[in-house]
Amino acid sequence: MTSDDSLHNHPAIMWFRSDLRTDDNAALHAASLHTSVLPVFIRDTANGERETGGAHDWWLHHSLERLQENMDRLGAPLVLLSGNPEELIPQLVKSSCASAVYWNRRYDPAFQSLDSRIKKDLQSDGIEVESFAGQLLHEPTKVRTSGDTYYKVYSPFWRAIEDTVEDRQPAPAPEKFNPVDTLPESEKLEDWNLLPTKPDWAGGLRETWTPGEKGAHERLEEFLSGAINGYANDRDLPGVESTSRLSPHLAHGEITPAQIIQALAESDTDASSKDRTVFRKEIGWREFSYHLLVNEPELPQVNHNSRFDDFPWNEDDEGLAAWQKGMTGYPIVDAGMRELWRTGWMHNRVRMVTASFLTKHLMIDWRHGERWFWDTLVDADPASNTASWQWVAGSGADAAPYFRIFNPIIQGEKFDPDGDYVRLNVPELAEMPSKYIHKPWDAPEDVLSKAGVRLGDTYPHPIVDHQKARQRALDAYDKIKDAA
C-alpha cells in the first residue's frame, strides 16, 4: 500500500481487546477512515495468558453484548472468534482483503510479545498496523525520573504527570461504517459460557451493575452530579456511596481516563478544588500501577522488595478459607469479603483492611489474596490488583511500612461509625448496637441476646487475637527487615 488513498480504499480490521467502547477509541476512529470495517473480538485460547476470573467473565459477557448492539447500530457487526490471534488476524486480513489492522495498546506484559509478533508479521506482508493509546493518560515507558529510571514512589510520579493529564483529548466518536463484503461467521456469545449457571451466583452483580459503555457514562454523570461533592472526605466511608465505582468500566475499557478527566473539567459540579484534585490523584494511582507493571513485568509474581522473599508466610488453608468466606469474626473484614462475593466489588478502604488482615494478622502470602481478588472482582486489573496487594503487604513500591498494621476494630469504628456497612453485609449482626458492632465479643450477654447474636454459633469468634497476631507479624518482620 503506497498512498493513503489505496490504504483507505481497502477494509480495515479493528481488533477489540480491553477497549469495549466506540467513543474515544482511537483505533476504531482510524478504522472508520477506511471504505469498510471488520470489527473482531477474539477469545484467546492459545497464548497461555492468565485465566480471567468468574466476575470478570460475567462482566465481559454483558459488555460484549452492548458492544455488539453499538456496532450493529454503526453498521459493522462485531465478529466473535476463539483461537489464536496470531493465526486468526492474518486469516481475516486475507479473507477480507484488508489493508490495515488497528488496535488500542494494552499494557499487560503478558501480551507484549504476542502483540509485537503479530505487528511484525503483518507489516512484513505489507499490511499497515497501528496501535493507539487510550487506556492510560500517559505512556508508562515514557515517564522518566531525572536519573532516567522509572518512578518507584507515587508522589514524584504524580507530580511528573499531573500537569499533562488533561492533554490527552478523547478521539472523535465514529458515525457510520460500511461492513466488509463478506462477513466471516461469528461465534455465538452464549456458546462462550461466560455466565455462571450451576449455581448462578451473579444475582448481586446484576442488581449492582450496568456493564457497557452507556452504563459507564451514566455512572460518571451520576458521580459528577453527586458524590464528587465531598469526595475528598467521604471517599473513605464504605457505608456511603461516596466513590465513582467506575473501576469495572475502566477495567473493560468502556470508558477512558481521558473522558473522565475531561468530564470532570467541564462539569458544573459544586465540588471543591480539593475534591477534584483528590479524585484526579486516585486516577493517578491507576496510572502509577501501570507504570510499575510495565517497568517491572514480574510484579504479579515477584516481591518488588526482595527482602520479602524470605518472609515466613503461613500455609494456613483454614485461615484463608475463613477470610474468603467473610467468617473471620472481625466484622469490618467479613463485611468487605462478603461485599466482594455479593457484588464483585469492594470499597477501597476495606480492600486495604482485608488485605492487611490476610497478610499481617494471618501472615498469608499476598499472592493468595491477589488470586482471590482476581477471581472475584469485576474490576480485576493486572496492574492495580498486583501493585495494591504488594503495597498493603509491605513488599511493594512506596509501600505502607510493614509495622503499620491496620487494627480492624479501630478501622471499623473510624470509617463505619454507625456500622451501616457491616449491617448491610453481615446481616447476622444487623441488630447489634453501634457501640459493639465492630467488637461483638465485648458486648454483655444481654446485649448479644437482644441482637440475636450467639458468638461461635450465629457469628464466629475472632479467628485470631488482634494483639497477638500483630505482635507475631512484627516479630516475623524483624527477622527480614535488616536483610540486604
Active-site position among 254, 389, 391, 428:
389
Cβ contact 389:370 at 8 Å: yes
Tell me whether residue 345 is one of the annotated catalytic residues: no
- Selecting among 69, 222, 241, 282, the annotated active-site residue is 282
Cell (9 digits) for 221: 454523570
Closest to 140 measured CA to CA, from 171, 155, 159, 161: 161
E-assigned strands of 12-99?
Answer: 12-16, 37-44, 79-83
Amino acid at the residue 80: L
Grid cell of 432 as nine digits: 447489634
Our finding on whether 224 is near ligand FAD (CB under 6 A) is no
Measured between alpha carbons, how far is 484 from 141 in angstroms, rounded to an integer? 28
CA distances from 326 to 107, 337, 426 (A): 33, 5, 9
The letter for the amino acid at 320 is L
From 293-301, 310-318, 323-331, 382-390, span contacting ligand FAD (CB under 6 A): 382-390
Residue 73's Cβ-count burial label (10 Å; 0-12, 13-18, 19+) is exposed
Whether 372 is catalytic: no
Residue 102, classed as helix, strand or coil, is strand
CB of 52 to ligand FAD, least distance (A): 12
The verdict on 377 binding ligand FAD (CB under 6 A) reads: yes
Least distance to ligand FAD, CB of residue 80, Å: 25
Nearer to ligand FAD, 71 or 377 (CB): 377
Distance of CA 326 to the CA centre of its chain: 21
Q: In angstroms, what is the minimal distance from the CB of 264 to ligand FAD?
A: 10
Among 10, 286, 304, 361, binds ligand FAD (CB under 6 A): 286
Does the annotation mark 233 as catalytic?
A: no
Which cell numbers hold the place of 333? 473484614
Give CA–CA dist 398/383, Å, rounded: 15
CB of 411 to ligand FAD, least distance (A): 13
Nearer to ligand FAD, 25 or 354 (CB): 354
Stretch that binds ligand FAD, among 42-50, 56-64, 386-394, 473-481 (CB under 6 A): 386-394
Q: Which is nearer to ligand FAD, 10 or 219 (CB)?
A: 219
In whole angstroms, how close is the CB of 172 to ligand FAD at the nearest point? 24
Residues numbered 390-409 forming contacts with ligand FAD, rule: CB under 6 A: 392
Closer residue to ligand FAD, CB minimum distance, 15 or 406: 406
Please tell me the total number of residues recorded for the chain in this structure: 484
Q: How far apart are CA 242 and CA 259, in angstroms?
A: 20
* Rounded Cα distance, 151 and 147, in Å: 10
Cell 505489507 belongs to which residue? Answer: 126
Give the residue, chosen from 15, 389, 406, 477, that forms a contact with ligand FAD under the rule CB under 6 A.
389
Site membership for ligand FAD, residue 384 (CB under 6 A): yes
Closest among 371, 379, 331 to 353, alpha carbons compared: 331
Q: Shortest gap between Cβ of 280 and ligand FAD (angstroms)?
A: 9
Measured from the CB atom, is 17 or 235 closer to ligand FAD? 235
Edge-first strand listing for the sheet containing 128-132: 79-83, 37-44, 12-16, 100-104, 128-132
**For ligand FAD, which residue of 19, 23, 379, 416 counts as binding (CB under 6 A)?**
379
Minimum distance, C-beta of residue 315 to ligand FAD, in the bound complex (Å)? 21
Q: What is the largest CA-CA distance in the chain?
A: 85
389 is catalytic: yes
Residue 285 is among the residues annotated as catalytic for this protein? yes
Residue 274 has a CB neighbour count (10 Å cut-off) of 12
| Interacting positions 235-264 with ligand FAD (CB under 6 A) | 235, 243-247, 250-251
Nearest residue to 17 (alpha-carbon basis) of 114, 117, 121: 114
State the Cα–Cα distance between residues 276 and 223, nearest whole angstrom: 12
> Which of these is catalytic: 341, 366, 372, 391?
366
Say what the alpha-carbon torsion angle 360, 366, 369, 373 is, to the nearest 10 degrees.
120
All three cell numbers of 434:
453501634
**Catalytic annotation present for 348:** yes
CB of 110 vs ligand FAD, minimal distance in Å = 15
Which is nearer to ligand FAD, 15 or 374 (by Cβ)? 374
Place of cell 480491553: 18
Catalytic residue, candidates 192, 201, 313, 441: 313
Contact code string over 328-367 relative to ligand FAD, x by CB under 6 A:
--------------------x--xx--x------------
# of chain residues touching ligand FAD (CB under 6 A) = 27
Contact map string, positions 266 to 285, toward ligand FAD, x by CB under 6 A: ----------------xx-x
- Judged by the rule CB under 6 A, the positions of this chain that interact with ligand FAD are 235, 243-247, 250-251, 282-283, 285-286, 289, 348, 351-352, 355, 373, 377, 379-381, 384-385, 388-389, 392
Catalytically active residues, by annotation = 282, 285, 313, 348, 366, 389
